[in-house]
Amino acid sequence: MRNITTPMLLTWLLAAAAFYSPLWGQTDTSVLVIQGGTLIDGSGAPPVANTVIVIEDGHILQIGAGEAVPPGAQVINASGKYIIPGLIDSHVHYDMPWLHRLYLANGVTSVRDLGGSIERLLTLRQEIAAGNILAPRMFISGMPINPGSVKAMNLSSAREMAEKLVEAGVDGIKVTGYTPDELREIVEVAHAADLIVYGHTGPKRGNRGPGARLAIEAGLDGIEHALGVLEDAMDRDVPVPDDYDPFNRDHIFRHWYGRMHSVVDPDLVQTIIQMMVDDDVYFAPTLVNFDRNFVKRNTPETEADPNLKYIPEEEPSFFGRFGPSDREEWRKTLELMLDATFRFHQAEGFLIAGTDSPGAALPGWSLHQEMQFFVEAGISPMEALKSATLNNAKLINQDHLLGTLETGKFADLLILDGDPLQDITNTEKIHRVIKNGMVLNPATLLEDNLRQFGNRGERHFDRTERN
Ligand SMILES: [Zn+2]
C-alpha cells in the first residue's frame, strides 16, 4: 500500500469534489449554455434574437430571451449565429458504419430507415439509443413488404409479414409491392399497433404496385417518391421503344419515368393531391434523389463533387450511362415533380423531407438540397425547414421530444453561421451540431471519417471480402 497521509488524501478529495460538484462553485460540465444566438425554434414562430438555451442531461432545461445563465456552466457564444432544431431525414437506407459521422456532420440528428436488414437495424437502433455508437437517433421500418420479401422470409402472406415486423418492434411499415387487398390487411395490422404504412405506389407498368389512387383508397398513410403521383396522373401510356422491358430498371427509369412528363395531365395531378390531403396521406417527393440519380447523372459536376471522397465507390449500378438527351427528359419530369410538391403544399398537405440516401443522393448533404428544392418549388424557407424537423418528428410520433426547440425536449440542434430564413442554403453553414446535449464540430467529424475509412471508403470493412 502506498503511504498516503490523511491530510494529503483529504486535499485530493476536496480538489476532486471542487472539480466535479457545482456546490464548490467550479465548472459543472453537465450544464451547457448556448448564449446570444437568434432562435428559430421550428414551430413556425418568428425568430427570437439574443436567446439563452440551457441544456442539462441531453435535454433543454430553459430556452428563450432573457433566461439567466447558470453560474459555472459551459458556455458557447452564439452571438451573430442562428439556431435551428436538429434535422431529421425521413428516408434513408442506413446500415453502414461510415454513415454515422456524415449524417451528424450535416446536422442530421435523427433518421428514419426505409428498408434494410431487420436484425442489423434493430441492433444499430439499440446501440445508438444506449449511447454506444455516436450516430443520429434511428427509427426503422425493417424489410419493405413485397411478394419477394414475403417469400424470402418464408412467410405465407403480406399480413403475416406485417405481424412479424410489428412483433420485432419497427417504427413504421414500408410497402413496395402489393395489391390493394393486401395493402388493406397490412394497414389493418399496422394501425392496430399504432404504426403507419408508407411506400412506393408503382411502377404500374410491370405491375409492381397498384398506383397512387388505389393505394390511397386502400388506406396508405404516406407516399414516398413523386413518381407514383405523376404516374397516376398520366392521361395515356408513355410511348416506349419496341424493345422496352418493363422489368428492366434502366428501361423503366430511362424510357418510362424519364419521359412521363409528355403525358402527365396537371388536372389529374391536382386530383390525386387533393385525395392525399383529404385522407391525411403524407407526401415525401424525394426530389434530390431524382435530381442526383437522373437529371445530373454522369455529369462532370456530380462526378467532381468534393464530398464524394467521403463516400465509398459505388456498387455496379443497374442504370446505364445517361447522355444529354436523357438528362433533358428527366429535367422536364423533375419540373413536374416540383410543381406537384408546390401544389401539395398549397393544398395544406403534410410535406415531408426525405432523400433516399445514401446513393446518388449523398448522406446528410442531400437533406439540405431537398429543402432547397422545396424553396425552388415556391415554398417558404420556414416551411421547408419544418418539413425536415417538426413534420418528420410527427411522422415518427416523436414530436413530444424532437422537431422543435422547447423546454423538456431533446437538445438536438444546429448552430448556423447564416440565417436560413433569408437563404435556405445557410442550413449548410453549420458551426456546431448538438446531439443529445453533446457538442460536435462538423469539420472534425468529417476528418475523423476520412481517417477511419479512407478516401472513397478504401478502408471500409463492409466493402472488403472477408469471412
Ligand atoms: Zn428508399
CATH number of the domain at 256, please. 3.20.20.140
Query: Cell 500500500 maps to which residue?
Result: 1
Is 461 inside any structural domain? no
Is 418 inside any structural domain? no
Number of domains in the chain: 1
How remote is the CA of residue 355 from the centroid of ligand 1, in Å? Answer: 8
What is the rounded CA–CA span in Å between residue 422 and residue 330? 30
How remote is the CA of residue 356 from the centroid of ligand 1, in Å? Answer: 4
Is 427 inside any structural domain? no
How remote is the CA of residue 20 from the centroid of ligand 1, in Å? Answer: 46
Is 453 inside any structural domain? no
How remote is the CA of residue 316 from the centroid of ligand 1, in Å? Answer: 18
Is 4 inside any structural domain? no
How remote is the CA of residue 396 from the centroid of ligand 1, in Å? Answer: 16
How remote is the CA of residue 225 from the centroid of ligand 1, in Å? Answer: 9
How remote is the CA of residue 51 from the centroid of ligand 1, in Å? Answer: 38
What is the rounded CA–CA span in Å between residue 104 and residue 364? 7
Is 66 inside any structural domain? no
Is 396 inside any structural domain? yes
Is 249 inside any structural domain? yes
Domain that holds residue 312: 87-402
Q: What is the pLDDT of residue 99?
A: 96
Q: What is the pLDDT of residue 458?
A: 87
Q: What is the pTM for the complete model shown?
A: 0.92
* 392 closest CA partner among 136, 105, 120, 38: 136
How remote is the CA of residue 101 from the centroid of ligand 1, in Å? Answer: 20
Cα–Cα distance list, 165 to 144, 168, 258, 259, 392 (Å): 10, 5, 34, 36, 21
How remote is the CA of residue 278 from the centroid of ligand 1, in Å? Answer: 25
How remote is the CA of residue 352 from the centroid of ligand 1, in Å? Answer: 14
DSSP 8-state assignment for residue 315: P
Q: From first to last of its 467 residues, what are the pLDDT tens digits of the chain? A: 334 443 443 433 333 333 333 333 344 458 999 999 999 999 999 999 999 999 999 999 999 998 889 999 999 999 999 999 999 999 999 979 999 999 999 999 999 999 999 999 999 999 999 999 999 999 999 999 999 999 999 999 999 999 999 999 999 999 998 889 999 999 999 999 999 999 988 777 666 678 899 999 999 999 999 999 999 999 999 999 999 998 898 999 999 999 999 999 999 999 999 999 999 999 999 999 999 999 999 999 998 999 999 999 877 678 889 999 999 999 999 999 999 999 999 999 999 999 999 999 999 999 999 999 999 999 999 999 999 999 999 999 999 999 999 999 999 999 999 999 999 999 999 999 999 999 999 999 999 999 999 999 888 765 444 43
